């Protein structure tokens, strides 16, 4: 370990594991306890190890952190080396600070990486790309349908340049075209009624309106009955979102097969996506 600069002969930093720092306290004389308490108050998420049980009792008077005697968590091996029982340490931490316990299922961003844990597995790290964001959004909303375009817009807010200009036009077109098509259907009903009534004047006026709307739709729409902008931009985005989700699951599959299998079975990737697990999982997100 490394001695703490302010108390080099008293407190040593042994290292860090799962976000928890481990310290070794060399002695616990009455004159040392105040210094130890002041030093370790700067490290609230830490565990303090010391040599004997009686030292533990003294440290617990001045420290809120878990204090553990080395003799309760170490074993002397035949070759003279000392093995540390990390499971025993974890149990001490779980009892003293249950909120520190590592959740069995985790999918969240830490710094510039995403950490994935499934059913108490070891941590697997993913690069900070759009794919994990999409998966996390679905896990956070089990049973809720989400459109790929809406997901793309939300994720893209952290980098506005990623939202194509065509998408904005496409969403506007989609609303406009929907209104026009409703109006066209209404006019066709009115045309049928005018013909049944034998009202040639209303019939001709309605035909003129229908022709204008058909011309507008023909100019606005591209192949397949979709607007050019919506077809080119939105369809591409939907495909990309689906591909990124599948790519993220494939990446997870390299180290966590059970997690990948669960995600494949539970995440449905169409233009509307949703996460629908057979068994509820409490993800740490």
Residue 58's pLDDT is 86
**pLDDT 10s digits, 214-254:** 766 665 554 445 554 545 566 788 889 999 999 999 999 99
Beta-sheet pairing, 267-269 with 272-275: antiparallel
> Does position 175 have pLDDT exceeding 60, yes or no?
no
Sheet with 146-147, strands from edge to edge, namely: 146-147, 272-275, 267-269
Are 85 and 91 within 8 A, CB to CB? no
Q: What is the largest CA-CA distance in the chain?
A: 108
Cα 269 from Cα 242, distance rounded (Å): 6
* DSSP states along 10-27: TEEEEEEETTEEEEEE--
Which run of H or E residues covers position 40? Answer: helix 30-40
Supply the pTM of this predicted model.
0.49
Residue 169's pLDDT is 42
Token pair 């709307």: residue: 213
DSSP state of 171: H
Residue predicted with more confidence, 40 or 163: 40
**What are the Cα distances from residue 48, in Å, to 33, 64, 86, 277, 280?**
13, 10, 14, 40, 36
Are 153 and 237 within 8 A, CB to CB? no
* DSSP states along 187-237: HHHHHHHHHHHT-HHHHHHHHHHHHHHHHHHHHHB-GGGSBHHIIIIIHHH
**pLDDT 10s digits, 66-102:** 888 888 887 777 787 777 777 777 777 766 666 566 7
Radius of gyration for the alpha carbons in the chain, expressed in angstroms and rounded: 32
Cα 238 from Cα 271, distance rounded (Å): 6
The top-scoring range by mean pLDDT among 157-166, 210-219, 270-279 is 270-279
Are 96 and 66 within 8 A, CB to CB? yes
Average pLDDT, the chain: 78
Cα 92 from Cα 22, distance rounded (Å): 13
Cα 50 versus chain centre, distance: 38
């Amino acid at each position: 370990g490394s001695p703490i600069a302010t108390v080099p002969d008293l407190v040593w930093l042994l290292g860090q594991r799962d976000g928890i720092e481990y310290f070794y306290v060399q002695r616990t004389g009455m004159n040392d306890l105040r210094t130890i308490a002041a030093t370790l108050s700067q490290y609230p998420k830490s565990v303090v190890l010391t040599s004997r049980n009686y030292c533990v009792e003294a440290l617990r008077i001045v420290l809120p952190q878990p204090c553990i005697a080395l003799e309760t968590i170490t074993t002397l091996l035949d070759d003279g080396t000392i093995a540390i029982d990390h499971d025993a340490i974890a149990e001490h931490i779980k009892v003293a600070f249950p909120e520190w316990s590592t959740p069995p299922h985790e999918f969240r961003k830490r710094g510039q990486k995403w950490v994935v844990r499934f059913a108490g597995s070891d941590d697997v790290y993913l690069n900070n790309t759009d794919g994990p964001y999409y998966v996390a959004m679905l896990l956070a909303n089990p049973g809720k349908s989400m459109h790929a375009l809406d997901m793309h817009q939300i994720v893209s807010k952290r980098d506005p340049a990623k939202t194509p200009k065509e998408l904005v036009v496409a969403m506007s077109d989609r609303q406009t075209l929907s209104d026009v098509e409703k109006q066209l259907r209404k006019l066709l009903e009115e045309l049928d009624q005018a013909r049944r009534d034998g009202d040639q004047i209303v019939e001709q006026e309605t035909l003129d309106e229908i022709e204008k709307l058909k011309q507008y739709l023909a100019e606005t729409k591209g192949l397949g009955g979709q607007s050019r902008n919506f077809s080119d931009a939105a369809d591409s985005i939907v495909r990309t979102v689906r591909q990124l989700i599948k790519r993220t699951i494939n990446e997870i599959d390299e180290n966590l097969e059970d997690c990948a299998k669960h995600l494949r079975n539970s995440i449905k990737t169409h233009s509307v996506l949703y996460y629908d697990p057979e068994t509820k999982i409490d993800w740490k997100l």
